[in-house]
């Protein structure tokens, strides 16, 4: 159900901890929330406040404005004692927004309990509705994680070959000058014999991809390499990823593949569209945008990407949700021009992406936070997992090569699900 934008009054306490255990070890099985990077981050559970946003018919919609207003009201009404004072202390909302504003499912959740870690400091935040109360029951409900067990796999909305046909159709439209680039995604389904323990997936993903951002919000779990934005005070940073190759089986093969990626006209064109998309989005909101002249390589365990780190200083009064609204969808997950690409995606993909490729992350009531793009992920509900992968399509794209690239992007979640 959709919650009205009036936020509740909350009693919030943040205290320092000496506990340096792994953050995931604090999580109960029920509805865990997480954002992890290189061992630091936030985990949360329970529900002190929640905002569920409806589908919208307008191209831009009001969902980010509604979210910003709700967070502002929550901050104004909260009674906060924060003995730590770092980004991620005090009230924190974990959030995920659908890729398409026409899709329902965008949500913000403020947990009752948060354990955070940053630069060697650890803290505990608890939230209650009444002075003197304490969520004791929520602090003692951790159980052991469970194996996933055997899985049955099935096609999603399109088979691999059917999706390859969609890629071919997109290439024809690009060559006909309807658009420059479109990102097409596909899904596959896994069915387990019992309820999937999301904590098991989080632990495996965080261990296998420490340099990615491992997340879980309202059943969407994954490890994305793509940082949409990090805000600290008035400064924001981002990371543009577009252009992908697999890793090589030897160091020599790896270097050859990397060289091919850096020299590829198709991949560098795709990356250039993504960089210019970010520059265009940030320029009206900032006093300066800083981007490198040429991309660098980002190497993960299964793939390597062309990457361009970006930084900017926000103008006075610009909210974090203003920036997210301006940046989403990036050319790396939508296409160019954005509106035309969105129409092509709706026509050719044959599915609702839900929160796949949408913004996912956290925000505190000071406006600090980290938001990624929900990639390399699955939506888990009970015994079922729906996995997603997408590829950037330009005039030089080959359907068989794009099918192979999508398969390589499925690998992260497939491995996390495999016992």
Residue 10 token pair:
């909350």
Out of 29, 73, 191, 226, pick the active-site residue: 226
The residue annotated as part of the active site, out of 6, 22, 47, 181, is 181
Cβ-Cβ contacts under 8 Å for 319 (sequence gap 6 or more)? 68, 367
Rounded to an integer, what is the distance from CA 226 to the centroid of its chain? 8
- Other C-beta atoms closer than 10 Å to the C-beta of 180 total 18
Going by C-alpha positions, the residue among 407, 411, 390, 410 that lies closest to residue 170 is 390
Clarify whether 181 is annotated catalytic: yes
The residue with tokens 């901890």 is 17
Active site residue 226: yes
Distance CA(160)–CA(163), nearest Å, equals: 5
Q: At 93, give phi and psi (nearest 5°).
A: -110, 130
In 10 A of CB 176, how many CB atoms? 9
Q: How many CB atoms lie within 10 A of CB 351?
A: 17
| Spatial distance between the Cα atoms of 95 and 361, rounded to a whole number of angstroms | 5
Residue 191 to residue 78: CA distance in whole angstroms = 42
**Terminal Cα distance for the chain, rounded:** 36
Neighbour count for residue 242 (Cβ, 10 Å): 27
State the catalytic residues.
Answer: 181, 226
């Amino acid at each position: 159900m959709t919650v009205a934008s009036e936020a509740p009054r909350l009693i919030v306490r943040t205290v320092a901890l000496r506990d340096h255990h792994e953050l995931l070890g604090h999580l109960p099985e029920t509805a865990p929330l997480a954002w992890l990077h290189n061992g630091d981050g936030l985990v949360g559970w329970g529900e002190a406040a929640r905002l569920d946003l409806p589908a919208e018919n307008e191209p831009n919609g009001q969902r980010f404005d509604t979210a910003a207003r709700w967070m502002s009201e929550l901050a104004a009404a909260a009674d906060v004692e924060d003995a730590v004072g770092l980004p991620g202390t005090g009230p924190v909302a974990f959030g995920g927004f659908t890729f398409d504003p026409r899709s329902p499912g965008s949500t913000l959740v403020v947990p009752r309990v948060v354990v955070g870690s940053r630069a060697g400091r650890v803290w505990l935040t608890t939230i209650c509705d009444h002075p003197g109360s304490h969520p004791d029951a929520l602090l003692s409900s951790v159980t052991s994680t469970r194996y996933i067990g055997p899985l049955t796999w099935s096609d999603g909305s399109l088979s691999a070959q059917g999706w390859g046909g969609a890629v071919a159709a997109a290439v024809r439209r690009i060559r006909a000058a309807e658009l420059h680039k479109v990102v097409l995604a596909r899904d596959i389904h896994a069915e387990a014999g019992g309820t999937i323990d999301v904590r098991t997936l989080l632990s495996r993903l965080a261990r296998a991809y420490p340099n990615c951002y491992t997340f879980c919000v309202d059943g969407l779990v994954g490890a994305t390499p793509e940082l949409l934005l990090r805000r600290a005070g008035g400064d924001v940073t981002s990371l543009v990823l577009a252009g992908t190759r697999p890793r090589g089986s030897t160091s020599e093969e790896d270097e050859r593949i990397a060289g091919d990626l850096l020299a590829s006209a198709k991949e560098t064109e795709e990356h250039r569209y993504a960089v210019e998309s970010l520059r265009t989005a940030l320029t009206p909101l900032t006093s300066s945008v800083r981007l490198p002249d040429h991309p660098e390589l980002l190497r993960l365990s299964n793939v390597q990407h062309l990457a361009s780190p970006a930084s900017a200083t926000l103008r006075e009064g610009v909210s974090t949700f203003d920036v997210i609204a301006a940046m989403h969808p990036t050319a790396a997950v939508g296409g160019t021009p954005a509106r035309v690409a969105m129409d092509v995606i709706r026509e050719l993909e044959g599915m609702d992406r839900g929160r796949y490729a949408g913004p996912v992350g956290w925000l505190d009531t000071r406006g600090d936070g980290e938001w990624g793009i929900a990639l390399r992920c699955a939506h888990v509900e009970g015994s079922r997992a729906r996995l997603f992968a997408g590829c950037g399509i330009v005039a030089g794209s080959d359907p068989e090569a794009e099918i192979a690239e999508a398969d390589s992007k499925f690998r992260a979640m497939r491995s996390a699900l495999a016992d």
